[in-house]
């Protein structure tokens, strides 16, 4: 399946911009949700690339949550093939765990929910502009795995993007989330907006018009580079 990208999700959600952008680039997509009992493919190298999305789970639940531990082990095997891997939010944290790094809440209990700026490191200047607002929805963050390059920093959670090898990326933010998806999260998970660090609903909606178009364009360009390292 050299022209198929496997999309691993942790909820029933199949929306967002990732699949349409991949289809527009000539790739088919196949969905898998281990959280709903769907088995991961037996051969991790059978796909052109893999994206693992976020979810309400914690990477630290893996010892007591069999499907999460299976994902971590499977991700490690896939990354070893050298094929492109992209982990978004929980997917980035699972990659960090697969590579031996720690995932933990903010020491002051702060969350990142809403649009917050990130800045590139020297290693990330060819991927990120000088300053870019991206969409977040998380309360845990990843440490940098041994041998990985930090590509972008944030103020509250300093590790926002890393690369391991040529084509395995972990992102702490959500470039795949469209305004429609974000609005649904604001309705279905409104209780999260009471957490320290969460932007109010009205502020997030006001930011969508300004910050979503450049985020969409960045993700489109990133996928081109990621798929052809």
Q: Is 69 left (phi over 0), alpha (psi -120 to 50) or beta?
A: alpha
Contact 222, 127 (CB under 8 A): yes
β-bridge pairing 85-88 and 49-52: parallel
Q: Is the model's pLDDT at 93 over the cut of 90?
A: yes
For residues 193 and 113, give the distance between their C-alpha atoms in angstroms, rounded to a whole number: 7
Domain parsing of the chain, residue ranges: 4-227
Residue in 48, 95, 56 with CA at minimum distance from that of residue 73: 95
pLDDT in tens, 117-175: 999 999 999 999 999 999 999 999 999 999 999 999 999 999 999 999 999 999 999 99
Q: Is the model's pLDDT at 2 over the cut of 80?
A: no
Angle 201-227/179-188 helices, nearest 10 degrees?
130
* pLDDT category of residue 12 using cuts at 50, 70 and 90: confident
H or E element at residue 4: strand 4-8
pLDDT at residue number 44: 83
Burial class (CB in 10 A: 0-12, 13-18, 19+), 111: buried
Residue in 217, 122, 215, 222 with CA at minimum distance from that of residue 167: 222
Length of the chain: 229
Mean pLDDT confidence for 35-40: 95
Q: Please state which CATH number belongs to domain 4-227.
A: 3.40.50.880
pLDDT at residue number 162: 98
Structure tokens at 189: 């998970």
Angle among Cα 99, 84, 135 to the nearest 5 degrees reads 80
């Amino acid at each position: 399946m050299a022209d198929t990208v496997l999309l691993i999700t942790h909820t029933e959600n199949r929306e967002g911009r990732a699949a349409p952008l991949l289809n527009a680039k000539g790739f088919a997509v196949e969905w898998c949700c281990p959280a709903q009992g769907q088995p991961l493919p037996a051969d991790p190298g059978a796909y052109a690339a893999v994206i693992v999305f976020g979810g309400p789970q914690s990477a630290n639940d893996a010892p007591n949550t069999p499907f999460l531990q299976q994902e971590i082990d499977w991700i490690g095997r896939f990354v070893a093939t050298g094929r492109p891997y992209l982990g978004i939010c929980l997917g980035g944290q699972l990659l960090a765990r697969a590579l031996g790094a720690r995932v933990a809440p903010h020491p002051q209990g702060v969350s990142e929910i809403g649009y917050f700026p990130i800045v590139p490191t020297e290693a990330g200047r060819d991927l990120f502009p000088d300053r870019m607002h991206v969409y977040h929805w998380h309360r845990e963050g990843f440490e940098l795995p041994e041998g990985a390059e930090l590509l972008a920093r944030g103020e509250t959670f300093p590790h926002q993007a890393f690369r391991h090898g040529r084509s395995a990326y972990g992102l702490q933010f959500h470039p795949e989330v469209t305004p429609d998806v974000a609005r649904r999260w604001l309705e279905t998970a409104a209780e999260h907006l009471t957490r320290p660090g969460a932007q109010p609903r009205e502020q997030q909606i006001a930011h969508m018009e300004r910050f979503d178009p450049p985020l969409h364009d960045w993700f489109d360009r990133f996928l081109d580079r990621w798929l052809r390292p």
